[in-house]
Amino acid sequence: MATIRIHRKNELINRFRDVVIYINGKPAGRIASGETREFQAISGINSIRAEIDWCGSRELAVDLSGTSAADLQLSGSRYTQWLLGLTIIALILLRILDRHDSFNLVLPVAAPAILALVYDFTIGRNKYLHLEERMIPGNLEAINR
Protein backbone atom coordinates (compact mmCIF):
# COMPACT_ATOMS: atom_id res chain seq x y z
CA MET A 1 0.00 0.00 0.00
CA ALA A 2 1.07 3.56 -0.72
CA THR A 3 0.30 6.74 1.20
CA ILE A 4 -1.11 10.01 -0.10
CA ARG A 5 -0.47 12.90 2.29
CA ILE A 6 -2.68 15.94 1.74
CA HIS A 7 -2.11 19.32 3.39
CA ARG A 8 -5.09 21.68 3.29
CA LYS A 9 -4.35 25.37 3.62
CA ASN A 10 -5.99 27.31 6.43
CA GLU A 11 -8.27 29.70 4.55
CA LEU A 12 -10.94 31.99 5.92
CA ILE A 13 -13.47 31.48 3.14
CA ASN A 14 -13.88 27.68 3.64
CA ARG A 15 -12.75 27.40 7.25
CA PHE A 16 -15.85 25.75 8.71
CA ARG A 17 -16.47 23.23 5.93
CA ASP A 18 -14.66 19.92 5.57
CA VAL A 19 -13.44 18.74 2.19
CA VAL A 20 -14.17 15.16 1.11
CA ILE A 21 -11.25 13.39 -0.58
CA TYR A 22 -11.97 10.80 -3.28
CA ILE A 23 -9.33 8.28 -4.32
CA ASN A 24 -10.13 6.33 -7.48
CA GLY A 25 -13.75 7.51 -7.32
CA LYS A 26 -14.37 6.29 -3.74
CA PRO A 27 -14.61 8.51 -0.65
CA ALA A 28 -11.40 8.13 1.37
CA GLY A 29 -12.11 10.62 4.16
CA ARG A 30 -12.52 14.25 5.16
CA ILE A 31 -9.95 16.95 5.78
CA ALA A 32 -10.51 20.11 7.83
CA SER A 33 -9.03 23.56 7.26
CA GLY A 34 -5.32 23.69 8.11
CA GLU A 35 -5.13 19.92 8.59
CA THR A 36 -2.70 17.40 7.10
CA ARG A 37 -4.02 13.86 6.64
CA GLU A 38 -2.72 10.64 5.19
CA PHE A 39 -4.82 8.34 3.02
CA GLN A 40 -4.04 4.80 1.89
CA ALA A 41 -3.92 4.11 -1.85
CA ILE A 42 -2.86 1.32 -4.16
CA SER A 43 0.53 1.26 -5.85
CA GLY A 44 0.35 2.57 -9.38
CA ILE A 45 -1.63 5.46 -10.81
CA ASN A 46 -4.35 6.86 -8.54
CA SER A 47 -7.01 9.44 -9.35
CA ILE A 48 -7.48 12.02 -6.56
CA ARG A 49 -10.35 14.50 -6.34
CA ALA A 50 -11.59 16.87 -3.62
CA GLU A 51 -15.16 18.10 -3.06
CA ILE A 52 -16.70 20.72 -0.81
CA ASP A 53 -20.49 20.93 -0.99
CA TRP A 54 -21.33 20.97 -4.71
CA CYS A 55 -17.95 22.37 -5.77
CA GLY A 56 -14.75 20.45 -6.26
CA SER A 57 -11.38 20.11 -7.91
CA ARG A 58 -10.21 18.61 -11.15
CA GLU A 59 -8.99 15.03 -10.95
CA LEU A 60 -5.29 14.71 -10.29
CA ALA A 61 -3.47 11.56 -11.42
CA VAL A 62 -0.73 10.55 -8.98
CA ASP A 63 1.74 7.83 -9.92
CA LEU A 64 2.78 5.82 -6.87
CA SER A 65 4.57 3.07 -8.81
CA GLY A 66 8.15 3.83 -7.78
CA THR A 67 7.42 5.50 -4.47
CA SER A 68 5.53 4.83 -1.28
CA ALA A 69 4.14 8.32 -0.69
CA ALA A 70 2.94 11.47 -2.42
CA ASP A 71 2.54 14.94 -0.91
CA LEU A 72 -0.35 17.06 -2.16
CA GLN A 73 -1.48 20.62 -1.43
CA LEU A 74 -5.21 21.47 -1.30
CA SER A 75 -6.43 25.06 -1.47
CA GLY A 76 -9.59 26.96 -2.29
CA SER A 77 -10.30 29.35 -5.12
CA ARG A 78 -7.24 31.53 -5.51
CA TYR A 79 -8.90 34.77 -6.51
CA THR A 80 -12.31 34.64 -4.83
CA GLN A 81 -11.21 35.30 -1.27
CA TRP A 82 -9.05 38.29 -2.33
CA LEU A 83 -11.85 39.67 -4.47
CA LEU A 84 -14.39 39.29 -1.65
CA GLY A 85 -12.00 40.93 0.83
CA LEU A 86 -11.34 43.91 -1.42
CA THR A 87 -15.06 44.29 -2.11
CA ILE A 88 -15.90 44.29 1.61
CA ILE A 89 -13.19 46.89 2.28
CA ALA A 90 -14.49 49.07 -0.58
CA LEU A 91 -18.08 48.83 0.70
CA ILE A 92 -16.96 49.74 4.23
CA LEU A 93 -15.02 52.73 2.88
CA LEU A 94 -18.10 53.85 0.94
CA ARG A 95 -20.10 53.67 4.16
CA ILE A 96 -17.46 55.51 6.19
CA LEU A 97 -17.17 58.28 3.62
CA ASP A 98 -20.97 58.47 3.80
CA ARG A 99 -21.33 60.15 0.47
CA HIS A 100 -24.89 60.90 -0.60
CA ASP A 101 -24.30 59.15 -3.92
CA SER A 102 -22.48 56.14 -2.40
CA PHE A 103 -25.53 53.91 -2.96
CA ASN A 104 -25.05 54.31 -6.71
CA LEU A 105 -21.49 52.98 -6.33
CA VAL A 106 -22.43 49.80 -4.42
CA LEU A 107 -23.34 47.72 -7.47
CA PRO A 108 -20.25 48.62 -9.55
CA VAL A 109 -18.00 47.91 -6.56
CA ALA A 110 -19.71 44.62 -5.63
CA ALA A 111 -20.29 43.35 -9.19
CA PRO A 112 -16.86 41.68 -9.68
CA ALA A 113 -17.23 39.68 -6.45
CA ILE A 114 -20.81 38.70 -7.31
CA LEU A 115 -19.77 37.60 -10.81
CA ALA A 116 -16.82 35.61 -9.39
CA LEU A 117 -19.12 33.78 -6.97
CA VAL A 118 -21.65 33.04 -9.72
CA TYR A 119 -18.82 31.63 -11.86
CA ASP A 120 -17.39 29.56 -8.95
CA PHE A 121 -20.75 27.99 -8.13
CA THR A 122 -21.84 27.28 -11.73
CA ILE A 123 -19.44 26.96 -14.66
CA GLY A 124 -16.27 26.81 -12.56
CA ARG A 125 -17.58 24.55 -9.81
CA ASN A 126 -15.06 21.81 -10.64
CA LYS A 127 -12.19 24.32 -10.52
CA TYR A 128 -13.12 25.82 -7.14
CA LEU A 129 -10.60 23.70 -5.24
CA HIS A 130 -6.99 23.28 -6.34
CA LEU A 131 -5.16 20.01 -5.74
CA GLU A 132 -1.50 19.83 -6.72
CA GLU A 133 1.68 17.98 -5.83
CA ARG A 134 3.90 19.67 -3.26
CA MET A 135 7.63 19.91 -3.55
CA ILE A 136 9.09 19.37 -0.11
CA PRO A 137 12.73 20.48 0.43
CA GLY A 138 14.98 17.44 0.52
CA ASN A 139 12.39 15.23 -1.17
CA LEU A 140 14.34 14.13 -4.26
CA GLU A 141 11.80 11.41 -4.88
CA ALA A 142 9.14 14.00 -5.82
CA ILE A 143 11.57 15.83 -8.11
CA ASN A 144 12.53 12.67 -10.00
CA ARG A 145 8.90 11.73 -10.78
Give the pLDDT score at 66. 77
Give yes or no: residues 33 and 53 share one domain: yes
Same domain membership, residue 17 and residue 57: yes
**Are 104 and 65 contained in the same domain?**
no
Task: List the beta strands (DSSP E) in 16-106.
Answer: 19-23, 26-31, 36-41, 45-52, 55-56, 60-63, 69-75
- Same structural domain, 56 and 28: yes
Indicate if 52 and 92 belong to the same structural domain: no
Q: Domain range for residue 91?
A: 80-119
Average pLDDT rounded to a whole number, residues 41-70 = 92
Cα 39 to its chain centre, rounded Å, is 18
Q: Taking 70 as the threshold, does the pLDDT of residue 103 lie above it?
A: no
Q: What HEC string does 49-71 produce?
A: EEEECCEECCCEEEECCCCCEEE
Co-location of 72 and 112 in the same domain:
no
**Cα angle 97, 102, 103; round to 5:** 140
Q: Are residues 94 and 137 in the same domain?
A: no
Per-residue pLDDT of 124-137, as tens digits, reads 999 999 999 987 55
CATH of the domain at 33: 2.60.40.1120
Q: Report the predicted TM-score, pTM, of the whole model to 2 decimal places.
A: 0.79
Residue closest to 48 by CA, chosen among 117, 134, 119, 118: 134
Residues 31 and 72 in one domain: yes
- The structural domain count of the chain equals 2
